Amino acid sequence: MKMLMFISIALFLMACQPQTMVPQDENNTQADTVYYLNLGQQYAQNAQKKLASNLKQAMQESGPVGALNFCHEQAIVLTDSVVAGDLLDLKRVSDKNRNPDNVANDAQLAYINQAKSQLLAGQNPPAVVHELNDQMVAYYPIVSQPGCLQCHGSQQTDIAPETLQAIKEHYPDDKATGFAVNQLRGIWVVTMAQHPSGNP
Residues that bind ligand HEC (CB under 6 A): 1-2, 5, 8-9, 64, 67-68, 71-72, 75-76, 92, 94, 97-99, 102, 142, 144-145, 147-148, 150-152, 176, 185-186
Return the number of other C-beta atoms located less than 10 Å from residue 134's C-beta: 7
- Quote the least distance from Cβ 49 to ligand HEC, whole Å: 14
Smaller CB distance to ligand HEC: residue 108 or 145? 145
Q: How far apart are CA 79 and CA 87, in angstroms?
A: 11
Closest CB to ligand HEC among 6 and 35? 6
Instruction: Provide, rounded to whole angstroms, the least separation between the CB of residue 135 and ligand HEC.
Output: 22
Q: Could you report how far apart the first and last alpha carbons of the chain are, in Å?
A: 38
Q: Which is nearer to ligand HEC, 25 or 80 (CB)?
A: 80
For ligand HEC, the closer of residues 130 and 152 by Cβ is 152
Nearest-angstrom CA–CA distance, 73 and 62: 14
Taking residue 100's Cβ as centre, other Cβ atoms within 10 Å add up to 11
Smallest distance from the beta carbon of 143 to ligand HEC, in angstroms?
7
Amino acid at 120: L
Residue with Cβ nearer ligand HEC (33 or 150): 150
Q: Tell me the longest C-alpha to C-alpha distance in the chain.
A: 54
- Name which of 92 and 130 has its Cβ closer to ligand HEC: 92
Amino acid at the residue 146: P
Q: At closest approach, how far in Å is the CB of 19 from ligand HEC?
A: 19
How far is the C-alpha of 123 from the C-alpha of 140, rounded, in Å? 14
Whole-number Å distance between alpha carbons of 48 and 107? 23
CB 182 to ligand HEC: min, Å: 11
- 90 phi-psi bin (left φ>0, alpha ψ -120 to 50, beta other): beta
Instruction: Provide the minimum distance between the beta carbon of 52 and ligand HEC in the complex, in angstroms, as a whole number.
Output: 11
Distance of CA 56 to the CA centre of its chain: 18
